[in-house]
Structure 1
Amino acid sequence: MQSVALIDYGSGNLRSAEKALRRAAEQLTTSVDILVTADPDRVAAADRLVLPGVGAFAACMNALAAREGLVEAMTAAVTRGAPFLGVCVGMQLLATRGLEFGETPGLGWIPGEVARLRPSDPAAKVPHMGWNALGDLDAGRPLLAGLGPTPHMYFTHSFAFAPADPAHVIATTDHGGRFTAAVARDNVMGVQFHPEKSQGPGLRLLQNFLETSA
Structure 2
Amino acid sequence: MKVAIINYGMGNLGSVRRSFEEVGAEVVIANHPSTLYEVNRIVLPGVGAFPEGMSHLTKGGWVVALQETVLQQKKPLLGICLGMQMLADVGDEGVETAGLGFIAGTVKRIDQLGCDQRVPHMGWNEVHYQAADHVLFQHIPDSSDFYFVHSFAFKTRNSEDLLATTQYGSSLSAVVAKDNIFGCQFHPEKSSKAGRQLLKNFMAYAAC
Overall identity of the aligned pairs, in %: 40
| 1:196 is the counterpart of 2:189 | yes
Query: What are the Cα deviations for residues 136-179 of structure 1, in whole angstroms up to 9, with x where unaligned?
Result: 34122111111111110000000000010011000000000101
| 1:73 is the counterpart of 2:65 | yes
Helix, strand or coil for the counterpart of 1:212?
helix
Distance 1:121 1:35, change over 3 A: closer
Distance in 2, Cα, partners of 1:18 & 1:170: 25
Helix, strand or coil for the counterpart of 2:75?
coil
1:14 alignment partner AA: L
- 1:126-137 map, 5 Å: 126-137=119-130
| 1:147 is the counterpart of 2:140 | yes
The unaligned stretches of length 5 or more in structure 1 are 26-31
| 1:176 is the counterpart of 2:206 | no
Residue 29 (structure 1) aligns with = none
- In the alignment of these two chains, the number of paired residues is 205
- 1:95-114 map, 5 Å: 95-114=88-107
2:23 alignment partner AA: A
Residue 7 (structure 2) aligns with = 8
Superposition deviation, residue 126 in structure 1? 0.4
Query: What are the Cα deviations for residues 158-203 of structure 1, in whole angstroms up to 9, with x where unaligned?
Result: 0000010011000000000101100000000000000011011001
Question: Which stretches of structure 1, 4 residues or longer, exceed 6 Å deviation after superposition?
Answer: none
Distance 1:151 1:87, change over 3 A: same
| 1:206 is the counterpart of 2:199 | yes
2:76 alignment partner AA: P
The unaligned stretches of length 5 or more in structure 2 are none
Contact 1:3 1:47 in 2 (8 A): yes
Distance 1:120 1:40, change over 3 A: closer
Residue 17 (structure 1) aligns with = 16
Superposition deviation, residue 14 in structure 1? 1.3
2:8 alignment partner AA: Y
Query: TM-score when scaled to structure 2?
Result: 0.94
Query: TM-score when scaled to structure 1?
Result: 0.92
